[in-house]
Chain A
Amino acid sequence: MKGYAVKLARVALRNLNRQKKRSFLLGGAIAFGMLIITLINGLTGGFIGNASDNFSHLLAGHIFVEGREKSPSGRVVAVIRDDRALLAVLAEAKLPAEHLLRRASFTGTLIFEGESLSLRVDGVDWRKESYLRERLVLRRGSWEALADPRAIVLSEEIARKLGAEVGDGLLVSLRTASGQQNAGELRLGAVYYDPGLFSTVAAYASLPTVSELLGLAPGEYMTLGILLKDIRGMERQAARFRAALTRAGVPLFPRRTLDLMGLGLFAGVGAELDWQGSRYQVSTLNDYLGQLNQIVNILNVIGLVVLLVLFLIIMVGITNTYRMIMYERTREIGTMRALGMQRAGVRRLFLLEALFLCLGGALVGLAAGGLLMLALTGADWGLDSPMFVFLRNGHLSFRIPPWQLAANVVLVCALSLLAALIPARRAALLEPVEALGRHY
């Protein structure tokens, strides 16, 4: 039985080899389809992976803890006044945290020489947030200027709109954490390249200065970002952390999806609930990237639809080709049948040919896709590319899980076999005498 199968396989391969041009064209079409779907899958996988990495550095963490405090009058203030309980639970849960990053932020109005505009200012600890410094490409000014606690880093576009240059003094008008009017003076320390994607995240200043403007006491802040050693365990670690906080009696808000583009973060969180004192919201990067994941899923679906359309065309080609092959080989089939080959054998021979053709095409497609991805990865788009959020240090990168590659190959082979099935069955149904007597 095994020898028979090997023999069938040899005949199938020989048949493919006999019609080199035809096999090359059909296999080429399959390879092209495979190449396209591999590229789309790899690109979207790379996009989401790189965006996750980049955002984790821009937003300072993979897991975020935000504090909310409700006053007896019902006013909700965004603040973490004392993080000892959080840090104790963090240590107890043994989360593989690489860095703990504290941030505070406000949305206020920057004023310079009669020009003003509203923007969000994030207070960061420049010494600890070296990753952020790597992500921001400075056009003017220097990181050394940020030693000045009043220094602010603006995007190019914001600085242009204000007409401010490095060293200029800017006024900022804002509301404190408790909602009072406040104003302060900042100095433009540096201007960074604006990727143009998140215009609301436009400015960074030192954490103590932002906290002071917000009316927070020294050591108080708004968000604790936990940067994990490996992003892959993010959801699992966040779930562990939530469970540990709950066990320790730290009150939490229910989880909710956040608005990435608006970066409204937790605006309004907690106002509608009946609670008192302090509460915390634990979220992950995925909560911010929910919309991005949706975009990637849509791209993947589009890729799959393109693949299916492409393969519908290829299937029609395969069906027609094998119908022609059946006519061409009618006498050969008759001979094989006369020599004792069963109907199932003929059918299997046709299907094996289609399978080998498909596997060959798929492998070539994968190889071509790999080479193309390698070439595209080598191209430097620059750190100031408008696509920088989706790039890894200015380079495209592709990520495609092995199961997806295998699934694509299985899908392509199944479709090819389906296309070859009808001609294979018709060939199998040929009577030996009739087949031997036919001439085309």
Chain B
Amino acid sequence: MQLLTAGIVLLALAATVPGLAADAADYRAVLADIDRMSSFTDSDYSCLLTVVSEKPGEQPNIQQAQMFRRDGDQKAVILILKPAVQKGQGYLQVGESLWFYDPESRKFAHTALKENFQDTDAKHSDFRPPALERDYRVAAAAEGELGRFRVYVLDLEAANEEVSYARLRLWVRQDNHLLLKAENYGLSGRLLRTSYYPSYLQLGDKFVAAKMLFVDELRPGEKTQITLANASLAPIPDTVFTKAYLERVNR
């Protein structure tokens, strides 16, 4: 009798906790949807990035870069076009390796996907296809509203140490599973960055954030806005995803 009572109490408690264990599989499916919609595994993908970085007391720093992605092979290239002083700098990603090319020294330097892109609040990992289902587990979930959208609010915990942030809180649209907002937390539980994805661009059955806003929560007033243009699924020559390409475009 006592066991039965305890079981009933436990079930009642579980029912009150947001994000039931029974729903965990559904929420993982939401994560898988987010990953799938932003990953171009069947085609190449390229676009023009405009990165506006703002810091208090400083003029906004505006950069333009061309991005090429071949997600199926885990390859990507970002070539800086503006400003003139940084023109020709580039990043080549092959698998988990990322190299930075400096045309002045004509040398490649190893860098990490967890590093910030240039001197902005965006990380290199923000430009790669997400792997939320693989890298995070759902710790809690709830339903709510963000603006005029019904959303799932998912608290995620890192499943491995390869990710940039130990914890995430995501606001995901219930109707189409598009990510609208993310809070990035450190290991200590402190909010480090808030990311907004206010608009999306549809390319076939894929969706890419047409605009991204990253707000630094440690340094008030620091934020970075990234806008996409000229998105294309046209095939990209194999030679683009090589170090030689970054060297050649600078000649």
Contact = CB atoms under 8 A, between A and B. Distances in A.
- A and B associate: yes
Interface in B166-214: 166, 184, 186-188, 190, 192-193
Contact of A114 (B56, B112, B158): B56
Given A114-B221, A175-B114, A181 B165 contact: yes
Interface in B205-251: 218-221
Given A111-B218, A175-B114, A182 B186 contact: yes
Contact of B161 (A74, A173, A180, A213): A180
Contacts of A173: 192, 218
A171 to B, nearest CB: 6
Given A73-B96, A114-B56, A175-B114, A183 B188 contact: yes
A111 B163 contact: no
B162 interface: yes
B164 interface: yes
Interface residues of B, number: 22
Contacts of B190: 182-185
Contacts of B221: 114
B219 to A, nearest CB: 6
Given A116-B219, A171-B218, A173-B192, A73 B186 contact: no
B112 A179 contact: yes
B161 A75 contact: yes
Interface in A129-175: 171, 173, 175
Given A111-B219, A173-B218, A181 B114 contact: yes
Contacts of B164: 180-181
Nearest to A175: B114
Contacts of B162: 73, 75
- Interface size, A (range): 20 to 34
B114 A179 contact: yes
B188 to A, nearest CB: 5
A162 to B, nearest CB: 13
A60 B70 CA distance: 49
Nearest to A184: B188
A232 to B, nearest CB: 41
Contact of A182 (B56, B96, B166): B166
Interface string A50-85: 000000000000000000000101110000000000
Interface in A66-118: 71, 73-75, 111, 114, 116
A183 B219 CA distance: 12
A116 B216 CA distance: 13
Contacts of B192: 173, 181-183
A252 to B, nearest CB: 24
Interface in A178-232: 178-185, 212-213, 215
Given A71-B161, A75-B161, A173-B192, A180 B166 contact: yes
A182 B220 contact: no
A180 B114 contact: yes
Interface string B43-68: 00000000000001000000000000
A178 B218 contact: no
Contact of B220 (A75, A114, A180): A114
A176 interface: yes
Interface of B: 56, 96, 112, 114, 158, 161-166, 184, 186-188, 190, 192-193, 218-221
27 contacts: A71-B161, A74-B96, A75-B161, A111-B219, A114-B219, A114-B220, A114-B221, A178-B161, A179-B112, A180-B114, A180-B161, A180-B163, A180-B164, A180-B166, A180-B187, A181-B114, A181-B164, A181-B166, A182-B188, A182-B192, A183-B186, A183-B192, A183-B218, A184-B188, A213-B187, A213-B188, A215-B187
Interface of A: 71, 73-75, 111, 114, 116, 171, 173, 175-176, 178-185, 212-213, 215
Given A180-B166, A181-B186, A215-B166, 18 more contacts: A75-B161, A171-B218, A176-B161, A178-B161, A180-B164, A181-B114, A181-B184, A181-B193, A182-B166, A182-B186, A182-B187, A182-B192, A183-B186, A183-B190, A183-B192, A183-B218, A184-B186, A213-B187
